[in-house]
Structure 1
Amino acid sequence: MATQRTGKGEQSNECSIQEIKRSTQTSQSEVKQERLERKRQVLSDQKNRYYTFRWIVIALLLIIAAFGLFYYFNYYLTDVSTPPTSTAKVTKVNSADKKSDKKATSGKTSKKSSKPQNQSPKKSTTNNPKKSTKPTEKKQKKPRLLQKPFSPADPDKPYLIEILHADNLLEANEYTLALQSFNDILKKFPQSPRSLYGKAVTLSKMAEEKKSNKLMDTALEFYKKIGLETFIGEVDFRVAALVELADRAYERGKAALSIKALEKLVSLKEDNLLFSNRLGLGYIADGKLKKAKTHFKNHLENFTDDHFASAQLGYVLYSEKRYEQALPLLLDGIRNDEGVKVNPKFYLYAGESLTKLNRSDESYILYSEAVNLKLFPSIWQRPLFSQPNLRASGWWDINDTGYKHDIQRVEKALETIKEEAKSVFDYLSFSFSSDGSTHSPRYNLFLNSKKNSKNCQKTSKTCALIESFPEAAHCRRGSVKFTFIPPKSHISSFVGLTNTKLQILVALNVGDEEGVIMRVAEEKKVMKSGQILVLDESFEQEIWNPGSEAALFLLIDVWHPDLSDLQMRQLGPI
């Protein structure tokens, strides 16, 4: 019995041991399985993060590529052959004065005086143009020259990023930072074409902003260095620099430098009609009419249908009094060029050429066309520099001028003025002599509000009288002078340039009883010694001196009485 119990106990012990082993093995396998699951989870998470990161990187690369394509198509595939600088248009000779005249119309204060005789009442016209309902389209900006593609041979290619950064600063009007950036590049590469051009543009913009002539002159030196000196960059930069040099130098009163730049432009771009015309206009503006004539003749051989150039050549020939040759060229421009057609000076020169050729009836027909185009107020009044809203009359009554008191003072001093005029008048040569060697048909005391001190030394009392007459002494569009009309002479019809002044005629010595006959518009008057008359020079005039003696006059230009003080200050010389 004891033996059996012992055997059963041993069996039960063995069973429990086996169960313990099995449970231990099961728990160990479960731990292993759990560890494997954890490893798989970690690997899965790592894999997911990897794929997420990879897609983020791909997305960023795609965005960068899109920006790159946008930049490429916007700048590199755009035509940049035309410089972004201001390509100067062929302008009319009188455009600057018209702007000053328009500017001067503001702030007008009334100087009321009764209307002169024979003035027709003005019709009040109001223009109320309908506003356009069409949406305004935004103008596409021209590509900036410094953003032009960098070719493999471009000497500036190593500095591409720095140059583009400096140009962006310039575009953002950060001129000081842009200038510093261009200077940093030029320290490393002094001949950098784009940096030299960028610096010149930056300096000119700074000069405009600060209204500094010194900065502008510095900019001109850089434009000159690019355009006229040794330059290793592309021709587009040289052309752009020369255009700026021509414009800016002309604005600074440096006509010779402007012409030099235009001559270089024409040599670089022989087929460019605009540059060639600008050079011809430059010669005219600088008074080099012989060069202008030669240039426009050669120009018309290359550009046979350029009617604008025909008109300009006609003007030069008119200035040389070659009216027969000038007339067909002037009329060709008027009939065939829109720019010439709206410029009153060509109608004036063509009309005067017709008059000189004894074809006055045709000249008035031409003037009527100009009046219909609103280029002249009337066929008799033909100013090239016109100020609106001023009373218009050929002859003026002294009481209507507002200068009656000043004119009376002149009248009282007639004998003194006459003595001083005769002291400088040479009766033998019918001219004035200021130093015994040079002779002139006029003897200027004041010109464009500037006193001629040398001449006034010999005519001190007359000059003192004029100085006490501010509207005469400070008239920047007129003069005060002694002049004469030779005996038995006829001065054919002519007009003054502007309606912004009147002229006081003082007859100092008219010898014969017949006097001097003057026609203004359609009305004639006879002037005799001691008489004072007032006229508007912008009306057509004609003069006869049938006598045997020279007629001696003092001419005094004064501001038009309808101009305000502000306008008188703003209107500049012509």
Structure 2
Amino acid sequence: MSGDVQPRKRKDKRRKRDDDESSHGVHITKMGNEDVHLHVQHEHGTGGHWCAKIIFFALMAVLLGLVGLIIMENRGLEDLDTPLSESRFSNYFDGWVDEHRVEHEGHDPHEPSGEALDDHDDHDDHDDHDDHDDHEEEEEPLSEELEEEEGDHADDEDEEPEADEDVQEKDEEDEEENNAGENITAEDGEDEEEEDIEERTVEATVEATTEATAEYEADEDEDEEEEADDNVVDSTEAPQSAADEQEDEDLEEPPSNVDEDEEDEEEQEVEESVEPPRSQSAAQSAPTDDNDEDDEQDNKDDDDEDDFESLDQQFENDDPEEVEPAKKLDSQEEQEQEQDQDDEEEPKEEGSSWLASQIKPKETPAAAPAAEKEDPFEQELRKANEEMIRENHAQALRSFNTLTQHYAHEPLAHLGKARVLEILAKAERSNQRVLEAIEAYKRYLAFGELVTSDQEFTAAGNKCIEHLRFMGFLQQAVNIHELLIERLPRDTKLRNQLSFTHLMANNLRQVEKVAAETLQLWPADAVAQLHFGLALMNLHSDYAQAQPYLQYAVESQAEGTQEAYFYLSLGESLQRLSRQSEALEVYGKGVAKGFFASLYQRSLYNEPRLRAKPFWQPRETGYERQLERLQLDWRSIRDEALALLGRGGSYFADEAERLRDKGVWQQYELYAQGRQVKDNCRRTPITCNLLQQFPASAGCRRGQVKFSVMQAQTHVWPHCGPTNCRLRAHLTLVAPEPEKTSLRVAEQERTWREGELFIFDDSFEHEVWHNGSHARLVLILDMWHPDLTAAQRGSLSPI
């Protein structure tokens, strides 16, 4: 710019300011209804207030459309979830809405960018400003033309009260927005003062504006920066006052060539990217009604693209590295602004890519669920498992029932159902639930190779076997064992579990077979040796050969060998080899491990806190009256028993528990496990009628009532009864040689005398000798232990 142009511009601006101060003062303070034609002389064919109406309603339509788009985009979201700056339409309202967010004062201000207003308002001013800035150095009168054009806008603003006060207010806001946009564009280096914008109030803004006007007369360069900053505050926080309008007119002209060049370059880039080229002559032509309408339509069409470009500039300008000091010499400002321009052009592409990701924030979430959509079965299975975790087992069972109906081909549905049924069976103490759990496990195991996890498959099979054993379905348990062994043939534990199930079923031959096969593969396996020793002891009565296997297994302390029954078997094998001291030592170890109640009381199925002693008196049992009734009729009972023996003894069966050392010991059952043996009772009606009057004995599900005949020269090994839940009474019917017969219970001995009755606890170790020459005949009655409650008696399983 030449040396004489700048002083002239300053003089013209001072003269213009002095003239407008007086006119604006009248306009603000004294204008009334009688002064409505104050500025009529400035009207120059722009259409008057009709043109303003057209512009107003066009802008109102655009405004309503943008509001609708923003509402549709952000419906269902809260203000805290969706910041205003995220909307691609939010910048349209920069400077229109006064936002005072105190809670964000601690952060960097994120005010609407001046570039957004700049790009938007450059088109509203009919694209005249671009070309005027390019030729301002050569044609000084153009600045006057611009000032006159601003005055025309002020005239239009004055005419609005004649038609409509609402239209006047709207036009004033539009005019303020345009002026603010021009001033912000002219001052490219003002971003450094944005941190002070939010801290200023409307009153502080007016005071700062007044001071800035005064300082402008002394130092115009500093005044221009402060006025631009004030205009930013006015455009974003509050409507402009009359003084603000005056300052806007003063600051219409760019302060330097550098700013003009930068502005021209940026606007040229925007025009090349979003608009078709426009001729310079068209941009410089005088505005007419038709041109106003065309320009307004173009501005509406390009609103989105202008705002998107301004958003890029906003984020670039927000970079703290690009903020320059507020007060520099003109030469330093030109160099730094040129450097800033280069820095802004480089990341422009990056800003656009960031903006693209922000403009369409909902596209990525829309595609993500489709790619990560969870399988419906997995969703329902997870819900059912969550109910189990919450211990809402009834709801979990309903969920698993639904899964097994709709996804019967899914193994996990059946496995989950089996598990929840297990829990309900324990909680409800329901055998029906146990049966349902067994069925669910069977369905799961039927999938076979479709279940990929051997560990999970084996665990489910073992659970199923456990329930089958509990219910007494031992042969079904054997089938599950074989299924597991077929899948994992080299697993010794599975083979040992199979032999144990055979042992529970008293299928000793299968025990021997399976254990022998296991020992062929793994000779040192302790569990296999244990099972093989038990088979030799109980099947073949070969105690000498069985004892080493049993001893090795028990002393190995291996898993599966430390059970009360195994200690009991080892001790009995030693006793039958006449190694009593060694047997007592083994029993003592069992007591130390908690397997036995005492050294002599070694029953396996026990209830706690029951009185225990070898012999009892009738009055101690609570069944004294019933026992006396039986004792009074002992002869009638004897006659029925002798009648059975007189028929050749075919009704008596040999004792099946292999407790005899030598001799003959036979039995005739009348009641077993609380049920009457009807065929046998028909042959002994008197005895059975008497027993029906003694329900504690006839209904004892852990005992029996029977005739017992022992021939001479018989010895019964020391042994213990299976449970402490019963007491046993002997009513002597025939005992010709009492001095030659004896019963040892623990360390006490008794003998039998005809017509007498005694009671002992058969959970204690007892042993029998009959060294006479004639048979001994007694009626054996088992009865509930008197310390058991009625509920316990009803819940205990039969033995």
TM-score scaled by length of structure 1: 0.69
Letter of the structure 2 residue corresponding to residue 442 of structure 1: Q
Partner of 1:551: 776
**1:35-434 pair list within 5 angstroms:** 42-47=307-312, 51=354, 54=357, 161-173=375-387, 174-186=396-408, 192=409, 195-202=410-417, 205-206=420-421, 209=424, 220=438, 223-228=441-446, 232-234=450-452, 236=454, 238-239=457-458, 242-320=461-539, 321-337=541-557, 339=559, 342-426=562-646, 428-429=648-649, 432=652
Sequence identity of aligned pairs in percent? 24
Q: Deviations over 1:469-501 (max 9, x none)?
A: 122122221111111111222223222122222
Partners of 2:634 and 2:733 within 8 A in 1: yes
Q: Deviations over 1:40-84 (max 9, x none)?
A: 88345543697367369899989x99x9xxxxxxxxxxxxxxxxx
- 1:472 equivalent to 2:697? Answer yes
Q: Residues 274 and 416 (structure 1 numbering): CA distance in 2 closer, same or farther, change over 3 Å?
A: same
Tell me the distance in 1 between the aligned counterparts of 2:697 and 2:439: 41
Tell me the distance in 2 between the aligned counterparts of 1:466 and 1:159: 72
Partner of 1:502: 727
Q: RMSD across aligned C-alpha pairs, in angstroms?
A: 4.0
Partners of 1:203 and 1:216 within 8 A in 2: no
Tell me the distance in 1 between the aligned counterparts of 2:568 and 2:727: 20
Query: Quick check: 252-261 or 544-553, which moved more?
Result: 252-261
Partners of 1:425 and 1:433 within 8 A in 2: no
Shift of residue 263, structure 1, vs aligned partner: 0.7
Tell me the distance in 2 between the aligned counterparts of 1:488 and 1:427: 23
Tell me the distance in 2 between the aligned counterparts of 1:45 and 1:324: 102
Tell me the distance in 2 between the aligned counterparts of 1:542 and 1:207: 43
Partners of 1:342 and 1:373 within 8 A in 2: no
Tell me the distance in 1 between the aligned counterparts of 2:417 and 2:512: 37
Partners of 1:334 and 1:340 within 8 A in 2: no
Letter of the structure 1 residue corresponding to residue 397 of structure 2: Y
Question: Structure 1 runs of 4+ off > 6 angstroms?
Answer: 18-22, 29-41, 55-62, 210-216
Partners of 2:526 and 2:558 within 8 A in 1: no
Q: Deviations over 1:296-355 (max 9, x none)?
A: 222233344432332232222221212112211211122111556752222221111112
- 1:537 equivalent to 2:762? Answer yes
Tell me the distance in 1 between the aligned counterparts of 2:771 and 2:457: 62
Q: Residues 56 and 462 (structure 1 numbering): CA distance in 2 closer, same or farther, change over 3 Å?
A: farther
Shift of residue 206, structure 1, vs aligned partner: 4.7
Partner of 1:96: none
SS for the counterpart of 2:375 is helix
Q: Residues 351 and 167 (structure 1 numbering): CA distance in 2 closer, same or farther, change over 3 Å?
A: same
Tell me the distance in 2 between the aligned counterparts of 1:314 and 1:401: 40
Letter of the structure 2 residue corresponding to residue 475 of structure 1: C
Q: Residues 299 and 430 (structure 1 numbering): CA distance in 2 closer, same or farther, change over 3 Å?
A: same
Partners of 1:385 and 1:498 within 8 A in 2: yes
Partners of 2:731 and 2:758 within 8 A in 1: yes
Partners of 2:527 and 2:561 within 8 A in 1: no
Q: Residues 57 and 180 (structure 1 numbering): CA distance in 2 closer, same or farther, change over 3 Å?
A: farther
Partners of 1:318 and 1:353 within 8 A in 2: yes
Q: Residues 325 and 200 (structure 1 numbering): CA distance in 2 closer, same or farther, change over 3 Å?
A: same
SS for the counterpart of 1:294 is helix
Shift of residue 291, structure 1, vs aligned partner: 1.2
Letter of the structure 2 residue corresponding to residue 234 of structure 1: T
Q: Deviations over 1:5-45 (max 9, x none)?
A: xxxxxxxxxxxxx9998633554599999877788883455
Tell me the distance in 1 between the aligned counterparts of 2:793 and 2:551: 36
Partner of 2:95: none
Partners of 2:415 and 2:440 within 8 A in 1: yes
Q: Residues 397 and 304 (structure 1 numbering): CA distance in 2 closer, same or farther, change over 3 Å?
A: same
Tell me the distance in 2 between the aligned counterparts of 1:219 and 1:364: 43
Query: Quick check: 263-272 or 332-341, which moved more?
Result: 332-341
Larger-gyration structure (1/2):
2
Partner of 1:82: none
Q: Deviations over 1:191-217 (max 9, x none)?
A: x4xx13413532562575386777765
SS for the counterpart of 1:554 is strand
TM-score scaled by length of structure 2: 0.51
Partners of 2:400 and 2:416 within 8 A in 1: no
SS for the counterpart of 1:563 is coil
Letter of the structure 2 residue corresponding to residue 449 of structure 1: G
Tell me the distance in 2 between the aligned counterparts of 1:410 and 1:222: 51
Partners of 1:344 and 1:375 within 8 A in 2: yes
Tell me the distance in 2 between the aligned counterparts of 1:379 and 1:213: 35
Q: Residues 470 and 53 (structure 1 numbering): CA distance in 2 closer, same or farther, change over 3 Å?
A: farther
* More helix, by proportion: 2
Q: Deviations over 1:368-403 (max 9, x none)?
A: 333344433333322223333333322223333332
Q: Residues 420 and 369 (structure 1 numbering): CA distance in 2 closer, same or farther, change over 3 Å?
A: same
Tell me the distance in 2 between the aligned counterparts of 1:561 and 1:185: 53
1:485 is aligned, of 710, 714, 722, to 710
Gapped runs of 5+ residues in structure 2?
Answer: 1-138, 154-177, 186-266, 271-305, 316-351, 388-395, 655-663
Tell me the distance in 2 between the aligned counterparts of 1:230 and 1:214: 26
Tell me the distance in 2 between the aligned counterparts of 1:219 and 1:169: 20
Tell me the distance in 1 between the aligned counterparts of 2:646 and 2:373: 73
Tell me the distance in 2 between the aligned counterparts of 1:261 and 1:472: 38
Q: Deviations over 1:86-115 (max 9, x none)?
A: xxxxxxxxxxxxxxxxxxxxxxxxxxxxxx
Partner of 1:512: 737
Tell me the distance in 2 between the aligned counterparts of 1:374 and 1:21: 112
Q: Residues 25 and 395 (structure 1 numbering): CA distance in 2 closer, same or farther, change over 3 Å?
A: closer
